[in-house]
Amino acid sequence: MRYLLKRVRRLVVVIFAVTLFTFLLVNVLPGDVAYDIAGQDASEEEVQAIRADLGLDRPVMVRYAEWLGDFVQGDWGRSFRTDEPVVDAILSRFPVSLELMLVAQVFALILAVPFGILAAYRAGRTVDRTIATAGFMSLSVPSFMAAILLILVVSLNLGWLPTSEYEPLSAGLWANLRAFILPALAIAMAEWVVLMRVLRADMIGVLQQDYISLARAKGLPVCHVILRHALKPASFSMITVLGLQIGNLVGGSIIIESIFALPGVGRLLINAIYARDFIVVQGVVVFIAFAYVLVNFIVDLLYAVLDPRIRTERADG
C-alpha cells in the first residue's frame, strides 16, 4: 500500500513538472501566439487586444496556475484554429494511436520472443550470431524508412494490402485492422530487436540457473523447460522495456501516423505544430507524458502480478 502511494506521488510530481515545463516553453519563449492568431497583416493594437483577450498580458505564473486549475477540472482549452476542445480532440484520436501501438507491440513480440529464445539457447553459435546481425540491420532501418520501403514493396510491387484509408472499428474488424498492418510493421521493425536482446540476455542468465538444471533433471523436454520454466523469469526485463516502449510510442508514432494518414494523437500533434496551434500542442504533450508515466506505473504493478516474490514482499511491507 505504501508502495502504491509512493508511486502515485511520483506520478503527480512528474505530471506537475511536465505541465510546468511545457507551459513555460510554449508561453515564455518567442513566437507569441497572439501574433499567430492575429495574422501577419495585423496591427500592433490588434495583437495587444488579442493578448488581453487571451490573458497573455498577465504574469506567466498566474496564467500557469489558472491553466492548471482548468486542466485539473478537465478543461484543456480550445484549438485556436478549429475551436475544438483539446480534450475532445485528443480523446477522439487516442484509440487510433493505442490500437497502432498495441498491434505494433504484438508484431514486435511475435518476432522477439522466438528469436530471443533461440538466440539464448544457442548463445555464441551461428544461429545466435545470425539473429544478432539481422537485429543490427533491422535496428538500423528508421521507422519512416521502413514505412516507405513497406509501401513500395508490399503495396506497390506485390500489390498486397494497398495503402488504405483508416476505417473505424464499426466498419468491421478486418477493414479496421488492415490499415494498421503496415504502419505497425514499420514500428515493430526496430522495436523487436530491443525486446529480443533483453530477452536473450536474461534468458541466458536464467538457463544457467540451478532450477533449470533441476527441471531438466526431471526429464522434461527442452521446449517444456524453456517455455514453462525459463520464459517467465526471463521475461521481466523485457516486460519493463515493453512498457517503456508503449509509453514512448504514444508520441513516437507521430511520423508513422502521418505517413499512413492514421488519425491518431501523433498526427494531431504534428498538424498542430504545422499550424502553430499552441494550445493543442501543449495539451497533446502533457497527455503523452501522462500516458508514458501511467504506462510505467501499470507495468510496475504488472510486475508484481508476474513475480510472486515481489508480490509478497509488497504485501508484507
Partner 1 sequence: MSRPLLELTNVSTHFHSPAGRVRAVDGVSVSLEAGQTLGLVGESGSGKSVLARTIMGLLPSYAEIPKGGAITFDGQNLLTMDRKARRAISGPGIGMIFQDPMTSLNPVMKIGQQVYEGMRHHFGTSKATGRQRAIELLTEVGIPQPDVRVDQYPHQLSGGMRQRVAIAIALACEPKLLIADEPTTALDVTVQSGILDLLQREQRDRGMTLILITHDLGVVAGRCDKVAVMYAGGIVETGSTRSLFARTRMRYTQALLDSIPRLDRPPHERLKSIGGRPPNLITPPPGCRFAPRCAFADAQCEAAMPPMQADEADPAHSFACWHPRDPEQVTEEVA
Partner 2 sequence: MADPTTNRPLHPARPTLSRFRRMRPTTGKSGQFGIAFWLPLAWLFLISFTAIFAPWIGIQDPDSLDFVNLQTPPNDAHLLGTDHLGRDVLARVVYGARVSLVVGFCAPVVGMLLGLPIGMIAGYFGGRIDGFIVGSIDTFLAVPGLVLLLLFSLIFGGSLLVVTVSLGLLFIPIFSRISRAATLSFKSSEFILAARTIGANDFNILVRELLPNVVLPVLAFGLVAVASAIVVEGALSFLGLSVPAPHPSWGGMIAGGREHLEESPHISVFPAIVMFLTVLSFNLVGDTLRSRFADVREAAI
**Which residue among 8, 25, 261, 298 contacts partner 2 (CB under 8 A)?**
25
Q: From the list partner 2, partner 1, none, which binds 254 (C-beta under 5 to 8 Å, kind-based)?
A: partner 2
The least distance separating partner 2 from the CB of residue 90, rounded to whole angstroms, comes to 14
**Is residue 312 a contact point for partner 1 (CB under 8 A)?**
yes
Stretch that binds partner 1, among 140-148, 154-162, 171-179, 306-314 (CB under 8 A): 306-314
The least distance separating partner 1 from the CB of residue 314, rounded to whole angstroms, comes to 13
Stretch that binds partner 2, among 113-121, 173-181, 202-210, 226-234 (CB under 8 A): 202-210
DSSP letters, the chain, are -HHHHHHHHHHHHHHHHHHHHHHHHHHHSSS-HHHHHH-TT--HHHHHHHHHHHTTTS-HHHHHHHHHHHHHTT---B-TTT--BHHHHHHHHHHHHHHHHHHHHHHHHHHHHHHHHHHHHTTTSHHHHHHHHHHHHHHTS-HHHHHHHHIIIIIIIS--S-------GGG-HHHHHHHHHHHHHHHHHHHHHHHHHHHHHHHHHHHTSHHHHHHHHTT--HHHIIIIIIHHHHTHHHHHHHHHHHHHHHHHTHHHHHHTT--SHHHHHHHHHHTT-HHHHHHHHHHHHHHHHHHHHHHHHHHHHH-HHHHHHHHH-
The least distance separating partner 2 from the CB of residue 171, rounded to whole angstroms, comes to 26
Q: From the list partner 1, partner 2, none, which binds 92 (C-beta under 5 to 8 Å, kind-based)?
A: none
**Which residue among 162, 224, 227, 301 contacts partner 1 (CB under 8 A)?**
224
User: Which one, 15 or 177, has the nearer CB to partner 2?
Assistant: 15
Stretch that binds partner 2, among 28-36, 85-93, 97-105, 166-174 (CB under 8 A): 28-36
**Which residue among 33, 229, 252, 284 contacts partner 1 (CB under 8 A)?**
229
Count of beta carbons in the 10 Å neighbourhood of residue 268: 28
Query: Which residue reads 535496428 in cell numbers?
Result: 139
**Which residue among 62, 208, 298, 306 contacts partner 2 (CB under 8 A)?**
208
11, 294 Cβ separation under 8 angstroms: yes
**Is residue 24 a contact point for partner 2 (CB under 8 A)?**
no
**Cα Rg for the chain, rounded, in angstroms?**
24
**Which residue among 120, 151, 189, 196 contacts partner 2 (CB under 8 A)?**
151
**Which residue among 144, 177, 263, 299 contacts partner 2 (CB under 8 A)?**
144
Please report, as residue ranges, which positions from 258 to 297 form the binding site for partner 2 (by CB under 8 A): 258-259, 269-270, 273, 276, 281, 285, 288-289, 292-293
**Is residue 305 a contact point for partner 1 (CB under 8 A)?**
no
Stretch that binds partner 1, among 174-182, 197-205, 228-236, 281-289 (CB under 8 A): 228-236
**Is residue 29 a contact point for partner 2 (CB under 8 A)?**
yes
User: Which one, 58 or 228, has the nearer CB to partner 1?
Assistant: 228
The half-sphere exposure of 94 on its side-chain side, counting CA atoms within 13 A, is 14
**Is residue 2 a contact point for partner 1 (CB under 8 A)?**
no
| Integer Cα distance of 121 and 203 in angstroms | 8
**Which residue among 188, 241, 255, 268 contacts partner 2 (CB under 8 A)?**
255
236, 307 Cβ separation under 8 angstroms: yes
Residues binding partner 1 (CB under 8 A): 208-211, 213-221, 224, 228-229, 232-233, 306-309, 312
